[in-house]
Amino acid sequence: MRLSDHPILGGCCGKTGFVPQGIKSFFLQGPAGRLEALLNEGSPGATYAALVCHPHPLYGGTMHNKVVYHATKTLHSFGFPVLRFNFRGAGLSEGEHDQGRGEVEDVRAALDWLNPEFHLPILFCGFSFGAATGLPVACSDDRVVGIISLGTPVAVEDRVYTYEFLKYCVKPLLFVSGSRDQYSPQENLIRLVQLASEPKELIVVDGADHFFEGRLHEMQEALRSWTARYFAAGQAVEAG
């Protein structure tokens, strides 16, 4: 399965004329203490807000991860305010790592911050551990209207990830993984996607590993095309 050819949507500022705004550094209150966060500020006429969650903190994952950064940049190119944060115990966030259990509540805390701040429907995007942790929250939370799962982990050493809840998740879902993703073998990933409800889409980036090394632009193109189709047709600027 190959990544489809997607046209570049717009020039430097797209049809919205959106000029990227600043980045706000702050702490939001989480259930285990303060969570370090960054907000890419959106345009005044933003129609959605977005949340991006990072990979496993015990293996170096933070909100500064390259995949998280490029996903944030792509969603921000639509003029959306985009929030990313460090899970408990990562970076300057308080608390201790909780094997994904408490981190589910961190995702909820981030949604709780976004909702009153912007009063906009929310797009969720998670990479690896961030996807596995955030997907069940995003599927069950009515404030979230679209879901992006990057490098969805299905086979990681002694860690077991289950996604039975996807049967009942009827929001638009995008799965993007590399054909050489060591934590998401294609056969397992295809079975996972088949489990999910419609509407759903799987894009496999040919030759990419779990971290989309050397293929980040193709990952961005997949995000950009899907987001434009479902949430902002024709309103993207190029996020290089």
Residue-level pLDDT at 236: 46
Residue-level pLDDT at 10: 30
Distance CA(169)–CA(63), nearest Å, equals: 26
- Quote the percentage of the chain above a pLDDT of 70: 88
Going by their DSSP bridges, the two strands 82-85 and 33-40 should be labelled as antiparallel
Query: Could you tell me if residue 95 is inside a domain?
Result: yes
Q: What global pTM score does this model have?
A: 0.89
User: pLDDT of 65-78, one tens digit each?
Assistant: 999 999 999 999 99
Tokens of 213: 């090394």
Query: Could you tell me if residue 152 is inside a domain?
Result: yes
Identify the residue whose tokens are 């805390």.
109
Is the pLDDT reported for residue 2 higher than 60?
no
Nearest to 98 by CA among 109, 87, 108: 87
Contact yes or no for 114/51 (Cβ under 8 A): yes
Query: Could you tell me if residue 8 is inside a domain?
Result: no
Is the pLDDT reported for residue 233 higher than 60?
no
Looking at residue 44, the DSSP 8-state letter turns out to be T
Is the pLDDT reported for residue 1 higher than 50?
no
Average pLDDT, the chain: 89
Residue-level pLDDT at 122: 98
Owning domain of residue 29: 23-230
Query: Could you tell me if residue 14 is inside a domain?
Result: no
CATH of the domain at 46: 3.40.50.1820
Is the pLDDT reported for residue 151 higher than 60?
yes
User: pLDDT of 91-107, one tens digit each?
Assistant: 999 999 999 999 999 99
Query: Could you tell me if residue 235 is inside a domain?
Result: no
Is the pLDDT reported for residue 83 higher than 70?
yes
Is the pLDDT reported for residue 240 higher than 80?
no
What's the total number of domains in the chain? Answer: 1
Contact yes or no for 234/15 (Cβ under 8 A): yes
Query: Could you tell me if residue 138 is inside a domain?
Result: yes
User: pLDDT of 173-205, one tens digit each?
Assistant: 999 999 999 999 899 999 999 999 999 999 999
Is the pLDDT reported for residue 19 higher than 80?
no
Distance CA(236)–CA(225), nearest Å, equals: 9
Distance CA(5)–CA(102), nearest Å, equals: 39
Residue-level pLDDT at 75: 98
Query: Could you tell me if residue 89 is inside a domain?
Result: yes
Instruction: Kindly write down the DSSP assignment for every residue of 43-81, as one continuous string.
Output: -TT-S-EEEEE-S-GGGT--TT-HHHHHHHHHHHTTT--
